[in-house]
A and B are shown apart, each in its own frame.
Chain A
Amino acid sequence: MAKKVALLQGNQACAAGAIYAGAKFFAGYPITPSTEVAEELSNELPKVGGSFIQMEDEIAAMAAVIGGSLTGAKSITATSGPGVSLKQELIGYACIAEVPCVIINVMRGGPSTGMPTGPGQSDVMQAMWGTHGDHAAIALVPSTVQEIFTETVRAFNLAEKYRMPVQVLFDEIVGHMRERIEFPEPGELEVIDRAAPTVGPAEYKPYDATKGQVPPLAAFGSGYKFHVTGLNKAADGFPTTKAEYVDAEERRQINKVKDNADDIVKFEEYLTEDAEVVIWAYGSTARSARYAVNELRKEGVKVGLFRPLTIWPFPEKRTFELAKQCKAIVVAEMNLGQMVLEVERVAKGNCVVVHEGRVDGEPINPGQIAAKVKEVL
């Protein structure tokens, strides 16, 4: 049977992906350019027995998402940069309390309210360092409507598997443009549910590291009773200041991502094999970059594209290899220099690293990228 297809906005595909992944709860506060995600889920969640709630603000919405997830419901919120700023305290809470959830950030410019209707890619560092304290982060950056669907599913999978918040960031261009999408059949994409406790309620400890790097999370309402806090805690979930507990917990929470980077990091390459210059770009900018690669190849320029789908954890290994292979990396992004800092760090001086940015609300066009490539050749 032919697959179901539709012409959808990126934001609508995000909502469809959430439903496919088994989302049962959305709490949010509408904000341009992400509102269609909420709009669509307000229609679709009730049809699958889920709930949608519009909260009084972004902070309360994030708190509701954490609460929803603790009952066992796969939970999601969608917002834009200003909303993500407000949610930071609770994102940190979800990190330390290890609560799976998905946060969609349809990026506009900034800081503050910035330009609500223009695209931006200036929240990519915030996705890692927005909340205070040492913590791990996972952030995904799709660049097509189809990919927004699949990466939203993957975000839920990673959140459930690693028991932590996962952010999906895409810019207004991909969020609002319409493209053809093929809906995967049920079972075609992997859907991961969080691990269930292996012991009964009496013995259950929510942060028991002897049960693995990611201890199983019980659902409230299923007979398991446990304590959840933003304080450093021992295996039973109650606050502690004992040095050995605090240190071990902090390290476990960072290492569960670090040790599994190969499972989480995803990227795509285009004509990088013989490339003298590699364009490093993500989201809608990667689409401009691919166009630029095709144009430059016609002129005989040996140029390729590295396109991360995961930016946190940072795709260090492959970026380092490419830095050793090529003369220069051009990092193109709609900000004034964010991911380029990581690329520079990882390249370790093995090649020239330059930045091509734009923050006027217009997309980075292929000509702009091509000109930069020629400059460094």
Chain B
Amino acid sequence: MSQRYEIRFSGAGGQGLITAGIILAEAASIIEGKSAVQSQSYGPEARGGASKSEVIISDGPIDYPKATIVDACLAMTQEAANKYATGIKDGGLLLLDDDFVKDTPTGNFKVYRLPIMRMAKEDVGREIVANVVALGAVVGMTGVVSREAAEEAVLRKVPEAFKDLNKKAFNLGFEKGKGLAN
């Protein structure tokens, strides 16, 4: 059977993590021609509280559309880390926002930290692109899709006036993410 790769983005509602998941799924399925399914937590908890978006990527058809055992997880807030940094496989990856997650979830996975919100605000110039920084970091860290495919998917999603900003955000995240895993 073909290999499934499961990624979970989690954080506070409104941080754009559902969008990050959609962009990753587009990079995999529309640009790279793999199979991808994106789903998200839905309902009251998605507004203000902890929210998650899951993407499953595979070379073959994807039957069960929800996460079974997570290969890579991102948590942008402590609440999200507590709630969603679960079901990560042995040797899997967990990326935390260094400023917002103080208590590190424990398990047989590798934990990495990056100040994602701070990078967006100080290095890119806008906090609003934190989701794209995070996406870049996850792609750099996992290599689940190519850098080019992910960057193209980001640029397809944003209006002309914000292309440079998002490109900068993605590439900064990618470099830092790649540096962590190697």
Interface of A toward B, CB cutoff 8 Å? 5-7, 33, 116-118, 172-174, 176-180, 284, 287-288, 290-291, 294, 298, 363, 365-366
Contact = CB atoms under 8 A, between A and B. Distances in A.
Interface of B: 1, 22, 25-26, 29-30, 35-40, 42-44, 62-66, 68
B52 to A, nearest CB: 13
A117 B63 contact: no
A7 B65 contact: no
A290 B64 CA distance: 8
A363 B68 CA distance: 12
A116 B43 CA distance: 8
A71 to B, nearest CB: 37
10 contacts: A117-B44, A173-B39, A173-B66, A177-B39, A179-B38, A179-B65, A287-B64, A288-B64, A363-B66, A365-B66
Contacts of B25: 7, 178
Contact of B40 (A7, A176, A294, A366): A176
Nearest to A295: B1
Contacts of B66: 173, 363, 365
Given A117-B43, A366-B63, 12 more contacts: A7-B36, A117-B44, A118-B43, A173-B39, A174-B65, A176-B40, A177-B39, A178-B38, A179-B36, A288-B64, A298-B1, A365-B64
A362 to B, nearest CB: 9
Nearest to A5: B30
Contact of A178 (B37, B44, B63): B37
Contacts of B35: 180
A176 B39 contact: yes
B65 A177 contact: yes
Contacts of B43: 116-118
Contacts of A177: 37-39, 65
A116 B45 CA distance: 13
Contacts of B44: 117
Contacts of A284: 65
The 3 tightest CB contacts between A and B, nearest first, are A117-B43, A291-B63, A180-B29
